Structure 1
């Protein structure tokens, strides 16, 4: 049958099982929006307040569901407003397809109104980018974009379509999507043999988990593996929920704001088994001193990550789920009861703590965990509140903690929360934000109201850029250059002005009633929680320091004394 390019876009989305898209219309993409109008009963379009919100929403949808997230934008500034969201998805390996429209082919390269070479702009921050100038190639390009986004290590793909292509007609034949199989052809039996040998010789093994375990759906295999190896388990920010946060083997996050137990335990280990993590600088600290007495076994789907940041002693390249299946089949039961007991004793000595007398970010997060029983999706923005959300909420399952780990994007969380709620409407969704981050994306509260998306925004409001201020306090002689936000903005009034419910919390005893009220509201809610401007995230590793040098306030006080 003959269809226009715009109709082909919609039919290809339906082919791929897309039921929700996020976007913002404009001149060059009008043909696609007109086609969407005719299929609004099949594909739900969520209109955001800003294109960046659309890209973050598509990202949150993808992380919460495991499906490909889709966002749409017009040419020029519409397309460039997606860039931060695309880069965020790229850094955290999120499958996303961004569809933009551009000026007609005969107007390309002429500085036409709202013309930008968006395919060129995003080339370094996507798995692939396309520009479609021929309507006969449109369907296959979109299909390829979805396949690339999902295959191997996932990531964002951009498809830019000229406006004349969206109007032109060509024959369209429906095609069943190509099945994406896990990457297993790179798994070598000799690498499995070497890994088994290293595990069986180890006396102090530690398992270190990243986001790759969640992406491959390998949580069950990881649990079996941890039991067989008889080892403690730590994670990265992106690995949260891949191994249950309530489990006795779990020791918490590793790195700059990781637990002392994870940091000291990994330093003391003789074998670090790293699965689906990329050894980011926030995890390793001083790379020369990271796990220096341990052999490193690295399992990752992306061969480019092997020996990129940390030199390994052995590696297995391939899908984490399949690799762990093969290891579990071959591995005999190990016994490291003395080592596990030593780590348990460390956990007793080095718990995460905060002042129980005051209204603090950790208290809010712990109360949220208690009230939701861990059965919620938590998204975050970036800063102190993000670290508290990672430390004090125990994530029981994968795809329940959604945050910008690699890029550290302020303004990410609210859009991501909307996307997550659209993807999993049966689960309560909370975004934990700081007041600095909320200023960057508060316009999306209006989107949540307009689209009837009942997300709950908890603003940990300390009237400063908290994490930057923490660094200024510790490393810059308390010179608070442009980090104080003591203005007259009233977040409760802002929420109400946008049609949401606003609740202010200034006392500890108000936290629980506020969260309960928000959960019962069935509409978008903003909870403005006022905390002290000098609350800090501990433990902390100083920049350039080794992870075993993690310190907290007690360590600082002792050093001063």
Structure 2
């Protein structure tokens, strides 16, 4: 027979005390008396045994916040524990959310960012007070720049202890309030939870922010004492919140179709269009338009398609400039890219005569990178916009492009030889075959020369398989992020990284703890080679970018992972195959030729437009007349 339980709450001092009776019967209980005293008070002639159940813990603010995160769709939380946030840590650990304890808060934030992009679900970063929170800020800065949806749960000092030199004090006495504990350029939404009564309002604001297209980075700072304070159970019940997509009007759609029908047009695809790959392909094939993409947009439009003319910007292809100079379109339809420096170098040759039709969910984006170019700006969800545009067959038919020939991205394939050290081009060819073509693994490229080699030489035919950071470009994002990506997809994720970044911030130990099948391919050249090559190309001498050669295979084994060191090109394929077959984390340490120049291509043209001119088409040595030049522009 089933049993029903009724809860009766009394008090021992200030502590709740719960007594349960079966079958719906309620028994009053006098607390703090002996059994004989209870019998006398109740008029009992004999002692009746009373079975006391263990006291049930009260619901706390931390419990309610963990439940809130579940209701918001969070599946994973990444962080580093600490005493000031024990309440939050404990509640997350006992929730339905998977909690992964990292070795550094920046690594946790990078992992949370890449976990979001790999899963499409918001993620949590948890940190303790003081340096725990500030360590995470670089990763959260990257999350905001990349357009991720991440919530930081941090601890702060309780109000009675503020200003009294508490351990790792986190308050307005020790940290600036603006931009960290309030909304600003770092956080879309931020607040300090001083009372449980705030939770329903906080939930609504988080839910609205997460429901909108684009990124959303939030920060809830919870004082240590507040985390464990008891609350009414009703405060842990959060209603659903519904948002509609931002779409353009029918008049805007018709005007767009008219503009595109006035002459040949191109399509410039950015990372913000990653959910509209099918619609972009339909539009391109229906009209014959040439398609190019930003570095972050690789794979959204298949890179083996005959209408694909190449990647623009950092690590891009000269074929784009060939197209723009030999078959310039009247207009370019820009989808989901800010056209910033890493994507365009603000090169005026990329501006077509009729200007841009620029679609973005963020109304502040169109017209900023090229303020002098004619721009028809449209605020809309890109998938919804293209679906509406594709309904106008009559106008799109007149927009069809007749092109006898479109340039394709240049190929620089090299057959493996007996070369030692390994040429990066050969390594990328092997990665293309074993990882890109023969697996479904996500590939992340670290900033620096790893980014340039990967972007220029790898070819993707699917969206959401290639991840790089072109905005913040923080060292360590791919190295730590690969753990988050592999964790949420329960499958392979591969990071192509440099030795300098690998020494700065890696989470091999975390991957070992949870047996996450992350793969690191290290381009080991014993230097910060983008800086080393950049200084040489700028003609600046004396700066030291060399670092002692590290054995990353040995380091990996010392942490409990697998490690393979490659010195010869003939060993690359077998090592990569072994890495993809491994069930746990593995590091492939590749000794590469440091003298192979990373592909610059469009970078030199971008620099030339700012005042620096190459001495010849064959040489990459530059005489610089522009005084403020960064290495990615060289």
Same fold (TM over 0.5): yes
Structure 1 position 394 matched with structure 2 position 459: yes
The Cα of 1:284 is off from its aligned counterpart by 2.1
Of 174, 177, 185, the match for 2:237: 174
Q: Is the 8 A contact 2:77 2:126 kept in 1?
A: yes
Tell me the SS of whatever aligns to 1:515.
Answer: helix
Tell me the SS of whatever aligns to 2:296.
Answer: coil
Matches within 5 A, 1:37-56: 37-39=93-95, 42-56=96-110
Structure 1 position 512 matched with structure 2 position 573: yes
Q: Is the 8 A contact 2:538 2:621 kept in 1?
A: no
CA gap of 1:140–1:556, structure 2 versus 1, over 3 A, is: same
CA gap of 1:418–1:181, structure 2 versus 1, over 3 A, is: farther
CA gap of 1:480–1:462, structure 2 versus 1, over 3 A, is: farther
Matches within 5 A, 1:312-461: 312-331=374-393, 332-333=396-397, 338-339=402-403, 341-343=404-406, 346-347=407-408, 351-353=410-412, 356=415, 358=419, 359-372=422-435, 373=437, 375-426=440-491, 428-442=492-506, 444-461=507-524
Tell me the SS of whatever aligns to 1:261.
Answer: helix
Equivalent-residue separation in structure 2 for 1:248 and 1:118 (angstroms): 53
Structure 1 counterpart of 2:273: 213
The Cα of 1:10 is off from its aligned counterpart by 1.2
Tell me the SS of whatever aligns to 1:12.
Answer: helix
Q: Is the 8 A contact 1:266 1:272 kept in 2?
A: no
Structure 1 counterpart of 2:292: 234
Higher mean C-alpha deviation, range 115-124 or range 318-327: 115-124
Of 96, 105, 114, the match for 2:159: 105
Tell me the SS of whatever aligns to 1:22.
Answer: strand
Structure 1 counterpart of 2:49: none
Q: Is the 8 A contact 2:339 2:346 kept in 1?
A: no
Q: Is the 8 A contact 2:114 2:485 kept in 1?
A: yes
Q: Is the 8 A contact 1:361 1:388 kept in 2?
A: yes
The Cα of 1:458 is off from its aligned counterpart by 0.2
Q: Is the 8 A contact 2:340 2:346 kept in 1?
A: no
Of 53, 70, 80, the match for 2:134: 80
CA gap of 1:156–1:266, structure 2 versus 1, over 3 A, is: farther
| Structure of higher RCO (CA pairs closer than 8 Å, 6+ residues apart) | 1
Equivalent-residue separation in structure 1 for 2:366 and 2:343 (angstroms): 16
Higher mean C-alpha deviation, range 369-378 or range 8-17: 369-378
Tell me the SS of whatever aligns to 2:185.
Answer: helix
Equivalent-residue separation in structure 1 for 2:223 and 2:315 (angstroms): 46
Of 269, 282, 287, the match for 2:329: 269
CA gap of 1:552–1:544, structure 2 versus 1, over 3 A, is: closer
Q: Is the 8 A contact 2:479 2:501 kept in 1?
A: no
Structure 2 counterpart of 1:529: 590
Q: Is the 8 A contact 1:221 1:324 kept in 2?
A: yes
For the aligned residue pairs, the C-alpha RMSD in angstroms reads 2.6
Equivalent-residue separation in structure 2 for 1:423 and 1:552 (angstroms): 49
Structure 2 counterpart of 1:161: 222
Structure 1 counterpart of 2:34: none
Structure 2: segments with no counterpart, 5+ residues? 1-6, 8-57, 624-634
Tell me the SS of whatever aligns to 1:160.
Answer: strand
Give per-residue Cα distances to partners, 1:252-301, cap 9 Å, x unaligned. 21014210112332453321110000011122224545425342110111
Tell me the SS of whatever aligns to 1:308.
Answer: coil
The Cα of 1:106 is off from its aligned counterpart by 2.8
CA gap of 1:140–1:270, structure 2 versus 1, over 3 A, is: same
Higher mean C-alpha deviation, range 81-90 or range 122-131: 122-131
Equivalent-residue separation in structure 2 for 1:92 and 1:196 (angstroms): 30
CA gap of 1:190–1:78, structure 2 versus 1, over 3 A, is: same
Show structure 1 runs of 4+ deviating over 6 A. 549-554, 557-560
Structure 1: segments with no counterpart, 5+ residues? none
The Cα of 1:435 is off from its aligned counterpart by 0.6
Tell me the SS of whatever aligns to 1:170.
Answer: coil
Of 127, 136, 141, the match for 2:197: 136
Equivalent-residue separation in structure 2 for 1:228 and 1:546 (angstroms): 35
The Cα of 1:250 is off from its aligned counterpart by 1.8
Matches within 5 A, 1:482-521: 482-485=544-547, 487-521=548-582
Q: Is the 8 A contact 2:66 2:92 kept in 1?
A: yes
Of 310, 330, 343, the match for 2:370: 310
Q: Is the 8 A contact 1:459 1:529 kept in 2?
A: yes
Structure 1 counterpart of 2:63: 7
Equivalent-residue separation in structure 2 for 1:472 and 1:455 (angstroms): 33
Q: Is the 8 A contact 1:68 1:150 kept in 2?
A: no
User: Greater helix share, 1 or 2?
Assistant: 1
The Cα of 1:109 is off from its aligned counterpart by 5.1
Tell me the SS of whatever aligns to 2:391.
Answer: helix
Q: Is the 8 A contact 1:469 1:480 kept in 2?
A: no
Q: Is the 8 A contact 1:118 1:160 kept in 2?
A: no
Q: Is the 8 A contact 2:295 2:314 kept in 1?
A: no
Structure 2 counterpart of 1:245: 303
Tell me the SS of whatever aligns to 1:192.
Answer: helix
Q: Is the 8 A contact 1:103 1:162 kept in 2?
A: yes
Equivalent-residue separation in structure 2 for 1:274 and 1:133 (angstroms): 45
CA gap of 1:131–1:270, structure 2 versus 1, over 3 A, is: same
The Cα of 1:190 is off from its aligned counterpart by 3.1
Equivalent-residue separation in structure 1 for 2:546 and 2:320 (angstroms): 33
Structure 1 position 255 matched with structure 2 position 319: no
Q: Is the 8 A contact 1:206 1:266 kept in 2?
A: no
Of 522, 525, 532, the match for 1:469: 532
Q: TM-score under structure 2 normalisation?
A: 0.80
Tell me the SS of whatever aligns to 1:278.
Answer: coil
Q: Is the radius of gyration larger for structure 1 or structure 2?
A: 2
Equivalent-residue separation in structure 1 for 2:445 and 2:177 (angstroms): 29
Equivalent-residue separation in structure 1 for 2:621 and 2:228 (angstroms): 71
Structure 1 position 18 matched with structure 2 position 80: no
CA gap of 1:554–1:361, structure 2 versus 1, over 3 A, is: farther
Q: Is the 8 A contact 2:79 2:126 kept in 1?
A: yes
Equivalent-residue separation in structure 2 for 1:367 and 1:118 (angstroms): 49
The Cα of 1:22 is off from its aligned counterpart by 0.7
Give per-residue Cα distances to partners, 1:325-354, cap 9 Å, x unaligned. 111111433575643x332xx32xx61426
The Cα of 1:51 is off from its aligned counterpart by 0.6
Structure 2 counterpart of 1:200: 261
